[in-house]
Amino acid sequence: MKQAVQLRNVRKTYGDVEVIKQVSLSIDEGEFIAFVGPSGSGKSTLLRMVAGLESVTDGEILIDGKDVTFAEPSDRGIAMVFQSYALYPHMNVYDNIAFNLKLSRHSKSEIEKRVNEAARILRLEELLQRSPGQLSGGQRQRVAIGRAIVRNPRVFLFDEPLSNLDAALRVQMRLEIGRLHAELGATMIYVTHDQVEAMTLADRIVVLNNCEIQQIGKPMELYQRPRNKFVASFIGSPNMNFFPAQVSRSDATSSTLKLADATLDAALANRAMGESITLGVRPEAVVVLADRSDAAGGVVIEGKVVGVERLGNVNYAYFDVGQSEPVTAQIAGTTDLGVGDTALLGIDPARCHYFDGAGEALRVGN
Amino acid sequence: MMSQPVLLDRDKMKRAHRRREIFASYLFIAPYLVLLLMFGVFPVCYALGLSFTDAIEGGFYGLNNYASAIQDFRVPRAARNVGGYVVIWVLLTIVGVTVVTLMLDAINKRAANVLRTVFFLPGAVTSSAVVVLWLFLLDPTVSPFQGLYHLFGWENRINVLSGVGFAGVFAVMAFFAHSGGWIVVLSGAVAGLPGEVIEAARIDGANRWQLATRIKVPMLWRTIVLMGILAVASGLQIFVEPQLMSLVGPSAAQPDWSINQLAYQYAFAVGDFGVSAALSTVVLAISITIALLLIFCTKFYHTN
Amino acid sequence: MSMNTAKLSRLKPGQFVIYACLAFFVCFYGIPLLWLGIASTRSQQSLLTESPFALGSLSTFLQTWTNISSYNDFKLMSWVWNSVIYSVGGVGLSLVAAIPAGYVLGVYNFPGRKLILVLTLIAMITPSSAMVLPIFLEMNLIGLNNSYLGLILATGFFPFGVYLAYIYYATSMPRAILESAQIDGCSRIGLFFHIALPLAKPIVALIAFFSFLANWSNYFLALVLLSDDRLYSLPVGLTSLISSSGALNSGMAGNTIPIKLPEAIMASIFITLPVMLIFLISQRFVRSGTLAGAEKG
Ligand SMILES: Nc1ncnc2c1ncn2[C@@H]1O[C@H](COP(=O)(O)OP(=O)(O)OP(=O)(O)O)[C@@H](O)[C@H]1O
Ligand SMILES: [Mg+2]
């Protein structure tokens, strides 16, 4: 497939501070890519370099195979939707959407046709004569998207477009952006804090941390096979539980790991004796057992309930197992647990993730 | 490897891009920059230069201009005049503006707004017209305040002027014209105080007086100090008020009351630009020092 | 009932002091202006002998007006025109210089920016009267004193305006809007004219207002730069008029110029009225603008 955007060894420094270290990335045409990562990880910086709003210290950026590293933002064939919408307050909705077309000297009828088309797609027909101040947050965001659509850009860039909206509106706009991507089939790069947005919208997710790409992959791939401890903890909510462990035996097919007060056999081959390994278990893989005998070969840990959150469809309990962080388990609505109770937690080794001392994920099996 | 030419190319493009940006910035700022150089930087340097020049015969003159300025008996007298005026004017401004602002804050909002407009209005009267107006107001034969003057037994303008003292009269004139603007500014600062702090203090049991003196004034301190410093800076430059005293005749005229007036006299009456420049330089140096202190020693003006 | 008593008891000493104090200040600021307005309708005789707030008559007012307008071919009117030229020129120039400068200083980074900012701040804090004689000496050198152009150029330098524009662009101008327009294809120049300038309308008006105020009332600089009485601005003309007629000088009796106290008062109103009107019309907006400008300071 054709590549819409390519980053080759892109670096960015502000003076001595490196904010993007050597990022390489190819985005296919029509693909929806989400950048996620904690605050300050460089998501916006990366996006703004693609937009041309931020200079590139090193490396190249290609759009549609053309080197645009030094091109003006308006010459890159991109459109951008900002978190703050960035509507021009002194123009009405129509003029906001038409501004780019007017600057590039399209004919009046052409402008009108394209603005009306965008307004139809975004259901803005009624609002064209309003000024931005008279719109609700969701409507403003739609105008901002409309402004992007009329340009027929090769790449849409979104920087946290929904984070100023309330929860209900955010869900609605998320669906609309999904619909828009399906309808236009355009390449989109979408920066977000919100994993739900990333998981539901994106074809592939780029996880950034510490100025570097941690992993690129399909949403479920990231969830099921995180490449390192950071991705494992960042993707998924509530967070993955981690347990420190040590290798006490290892051969060509399996190893035995010693936890605080349990042992477990993992399908890890040829580990060094005494090596520290971190065990990661998602909350849905932690089971509250009625009895020790239910463990079925898994590990059993005793914990004391420190909190229970019942959300209706899912319920979580938090257990103190003698580590600094409490252990989270997803429990059934019928499970009767209260703060102060003790319970037995079962962990199935087959649903565990293993990370070495550097936080890299270890391959399970052979 | 082929990285060498690529790198060079890249650097060149980067530099060209940056150069274009800088050029565009300077294009925008050029008109202002010309004015800044012409009426900010150059006059200061030129005056400084002139102050070391023999303006009558030409040539370098060392500190002679400064020496002859100091030897002029009127200069120390003018310095004392200005010093006294600045003290009165600054105290009047700080106390008056702060008190009025806090009082306005204590009354009904609508009424306070109307009053603030009334106080602000004299600011619209041009500086020279303020002096003319006050020349009327100080004359017991026409003044609306004549009752007050008669109380002190002042029968004509000279009585009033010598009774109050020139420094006091000028300070009142300046206060009349300029305090309204500061009342608005300080009111804005009061309105900007975090409401929760005030409420917390009230819950702690502070009454209005305590609220004003223990909470509001300390929190407004920066604005008040700024106001005082700017009042000092402008007070040192007093010119119009004493200069226009001559309008009421030679008996009240004060042609050499302030330093700026003396500098003006040296330039226009004596024609000695050197001494004039020396006096101007001294006055300017004080002002610029105050400005620099304000900018660098306090955080009143963030440049970013 | 209990509310009432509560109110009453609160109005005791503290409240009384506040109201008394404020009443004093209302008199201090208000009475002179009120008196000035009334006094223009009164005759010399009435001013000197009757009570300060006695009302005059329309005929006296018209007589005073005739005296002023006939004096020296209505010289006063030519000074009004001069003042208009100086003010409009000064305001125009200061806007043309200050808005783009404030915009660039607030939004872009370029070598020399810090220095220009610091110089601007110094020039802004330094009272303009401190610069009058140095500017005169310079103008004398380049031969621009005693000309319209000289005074307009000198008053076009308005660092406070640059500061206001700079603060506005640096703090209230959303960066994303500029970037958005950049992506939409605006050039650097287009960005300023399409986006930055239209959005800064209130600040443009505010700078124009302050610049007008400063120029219209400029006395010291005009006095020093202008020696030809045909070039006088209104404030300089007014004082020269009063001074030559001796209107305020009770010791200078028996001259024939028909410029006496009522005429001097009317001329003062002449100077004050335009500014006062603009003040009243725009006071709400100016007050909020003064605050906006002062917030940072
Ligand atoms: N102009 C600048 N000068 C110096 N450092 C900067 C500048 N702009 C951004 N940074 C730094 O670059 C890093 C990445 O910033 P960026 O805005 O890309 O983060 P982000 O991932 O978008 O965060 P958020 O989720 O909070 O928006 C941050 O550590 C930030 O402090
Ligand atoms: Mg960001």
Which listed ligand is nearest to A159 at the C-alpha? 2
Asked if residue A115 has pLDDT above 80, the reply is yes
**Beta-carbon count within 10 A of A78 CB:** 25
Of A199, A234, A269, the position where a domain reaches its end is A234
**Which residues from C are below 8 Å from B118, CB to CB?**
26, 29-30
**Ligand 1 neighbourhood includes A254 CB (under 6 angstroms):** no
Residue A131, domain CATH: 3.40.50.300
Nearest residue on chain C to A104, judged by CA atoms? C185
C200 domain-assigned: yes
Please name which of B225, B236, B221 lies closest in space to residue B288, comparing C-alpha atoms: B236
Select from B144, B249, B260 the Cβ nearest to the Cβ of C52. Answer: B144
Closest chain A C-alpha to C199 CA, distance in angstroms: 7
Helices (H) and strands (E) in chain B, counts: 15, 0
d(CA C22, CA B106): 11
pTM: 0.82
Which CA distances in Å does A220 have to A33, A78, A140, A225, A232? 14, 28, 32, 8, 12
Could A55 and B17 be called an inter-chain contact, meaning their C-beta atoms sit closer than 8 Å? yes
Select from A84, A90, A99 the Cβ nearest to the Cβ of C184. Answer: A99
**Ligand 1 neighbourhood includes A41 CB (under 6 angstroms):** yes
Tokens standing for A212? 């570097």
Q: Which residues of A176-186 are buried (b: 16+ CB within 10 A; e: fewer)?
A: bbeebbeeeeb
Asked if residue A137 has pLDDT above 70, the reply is yes
**Which residues from C are below 8 Å from B33, CB to CB?**
101, 116
Asked if residue B83 has pLDDT above 50, the reply is yes
Place of tokens 């009475």: C31
Residue A344, domain CATH: 2.40.50.140
* Helical (H) or strand (E) element with A34: strand A32-36
d(CA B149, CA B141): 10
d(CA C293, CA C275): 20
Tokens standing for A296? 């079925």
Which listed ligand is nearest to A82 at the C-alpha? 2
Contact B258, B82 (CB under 8 A): yes
Average pLDDT, chain C: 83
d(CA B37, CA B52): 21
Task: Name the band, by pLDDT with cuts 50, 70 and 90, for residue A290.
Answer: confident
Whether A335 and A253 map to the same domain: the answer is yes
The DSSP code sequence of A262-291 is: -EEEE---SPPTT-EEEEEE-GGGEEEESS
Q: Which residues of A89-98 are buried (b: 16+ CB within 10 A; e: fewer)?
A: eebbbbebbb
d(CA C297, CA C288): 14
User: Which atom of ligand 1 is nearest the CA belonging to A37?
Assistant: 21
Which bin fits A359, alpha (ψ -120 to 50), beta or left (φ > 0)? left
**Ligand 1 neighbourhood includes A40 CB (under 6 angstroms):** yes
**Ligand 1 neighbourhood includes A15 CB (under 6 angstroms):** no
Whether A210 and A309 map to the same domain: the answer is no
C159 domain-assigned: yes
Q: In what order do the strands lie in the sheet with A327-331?
A: A286-289, A342-347, A299-310, A315-320, A327-331
Nearest residue on chain B to A57, judged by CA atoms? B14
| Residue A51 in contact with partner chain C when CB distance is under 8 A | yes
Structural domain count, chain C = 1
Of A234, A266, A301, the position where a domain reaches its end is A234
Domain around C212: 74-233
Which listed ligand is nearest to A38 at the C-alpha? 1
Specify the pLDDT at position B7. 56
ipTM given for this complex: 0.84
**Which residues from A are below 8 Å from B13, CB to CB?**
70
User: Nearest 5 degrees, angle CA A194-CA A199-CA A204?
Assistant: 115
Adjacent-strand bridge partners of A20? A12
Could B122 and C121 be called an inter-chain contact, meaning their C-beta atoms sit closer than 8 Å? no
Place of tokens 């005059």: C56
Whether A186 and A320 map to the same domain: the answer is no
Whether A214 and A255 map to the same domain: the answer is no
Whether A337 and A262 map to the same domain: the answer is yes
Q: Give pLDDT tens digits along chain C (297 positions).
A: 444 444 545 556 778 888 999 999 999 999 998 888 888 888 777 777 777 777 777 888 888 888 877 777 777 888 989 999 999 999 999 999 999 999 999 999 999 999 999 999 888 888 888 888 889 988 988 888 889 999 999 999 999 999 989 988 988 888 899 999 999 999 889 999 999 999 888 888 888 988 998 898 888 899 999 988 889 998 898 888 888 777 676 655 556 666 777 888 888 888 888 888 887 777 666 655 555 444 333
Average pLDDT, chain B: 85
Specify the pLDDT at position B304. 41
**Which residues from C are below 8 Å from B226, CB to CB?**
297
Specify the pLDDT at position C287. 58
Contact A178, A170 (CB under 8 A): no
C63 domain-assigned: no
Whether A69 and A107 map to the same domain: the answer is yes
Preferred mutation among C42, C48, C126, C155 to probe B, highest tally of B CBs within 10 A: C126
Chain A from 65 to 84: CB within 8 A of any B CB:
69-70
CA C184 to ligand 2 center in whole angstroms: 21
Residue C94, domain CATH: 1.10.3720.10
The amino acid sitting at A10 is V
Nearest residue on chain A to B15, judged by CA atoms? A70
Specify the pLDDT at position B12. 84
Helix, strand, coil % in chain B, rounded to nearest 5: 80, 0, 20
3-state secondary structure of A136: coil
Nearest residue on chain C to B176, judged by CA atoms? C29
**Which residues from C are below 8 Å from A80, CB to CB?**
179-180, 183
Structural domain count, chain A = 2
Could C186 and A103 be called an inter-chain contact, meaning their C-beta atoms sit closer than 8 Å? yes
**Ligand 1 neighbourhood includes A298 CB (under 6 angstroms):** no
Which residues have C-beta within 8 Å of that of residue C110, sequence separation ≥ 6? B21, B22, B25, B26, C104
Select from A53, A100, A147 the Cβ nearest to the Cβ of C179. Answer: A53
C284 domain-assigned: no
d(CA B32, CA B12): 31
Adjacent-strand bridge partners of A36? A207
Which CA distances in Å does B214 have to B197, B201, B206, C156? 12, 9, 9, 44
Task: Name the band, by pLDDT with cuts 50, 70 and 90, for residue B1.
Answer: very low
- CA-nearest residue, atom 16 of ligand 1: A42
Extents of the domains making up chain B: 1-51, 73-297
C228 domain-assigned: yes
Q: Which phi and psi angles does B182 have, rounded to 5°?
A: -70, -35
Tokens standing for A27? 């985005």
C160 domain-assigned: yes
Of A234, A265, A294, the position where a domain reaches its end is A234
Specify the pLDDT at position C273. 84
d(CA C162, CA C202): 14
| Residue A55 in contact with partner chain B when CB distance is under 8 A | yes
3-state secondary structure of B7: helix
Specify the pLDDT at position B176. 93
3-state secondary structure of A9: strand
Per-residue DSSP letter, A361: B
CA A357 to ligand 2 center in whole angstroms: 31
- CA-nearest residue, atom 5 of ligand 1: A14
Asked if residue B78 has pLDDT above 70, the reply is yes
Whether A228 and A245 map to the same domain: the answer is no
In CATH, the number for domain B73-297 is 1.10.3720.10
Asked if residue B3 has pLDDT above 50, the reply is no
d(CA C141, CA C150): 12
d(CA C272, CA C283): 15
Could B248 and C248 be called an inter-chain contact, meaning their C-beta atoms sit closer than 8 Å? yes
Select from A83, A90, A104 the Cβ nearest to the Cβ of C185. Answer: A104
Asked if residue A361 has pLDDT above 90, the reply is yes
Specify the pLDDT at position B100. 94
- CA-nearest residue, atom 18 of ligand 1: A42
C256 domain-assigned: no
Domain around A109: 3-234
d(CA B144, CA C265): 14
Whether A246 and A230 map to the same domain: the answer is no
Pocket test of ligand 1: the residue of A12, A13, A44, A213 to mutate, having most ligand atoms within 8 Å of its CB, is A44
- CA C124 and chain centroid, separation: 16
Number of B–C residue contacts, CB under 8 Å: 291
What's the full length of chain B, in residues? 304
Whether A222 and A339 map to the same domain: the answer is no
**Which residues from C are below 8 Å from B277, CB to CB?**
133-134, 137
Please name which of B232, B274, B201, B240 lies closest in space to residue B49, comparing C-alpha atoms: B274
Whether A163 and A282 map to the same domain: the answer is no
Closest chain B C-alpha to C73 CA, distance in angstroms: 23
Q: What is the mean pLDDT of residues B207-226?
A: 85
**Ligand 1 neighbourhood includes A43 CB (under 6 angstroms):** yes
**Which residues from B are below 8 Å from A73, CB to CB?**
none
Alpha helices in chain C (DSSP H): 2-10, 13-39, 44-49, 58-70, 75-107, 113-125, 128-142, 148-156, 159-167, 175-183, 188-190, 197-199, 201-216, 220-225, 234-245, 261-281, 283-296
Q: What is the mean pLDDT of residues B111-140?
A: 86
Contact C60, C43 (CB under 8 A): yes
3-state secondary structure of B252: coil
Over residues C27-60, the pLDDT tens digits come to: 999 999 888 888 888 877 777 777 777 777 788 8
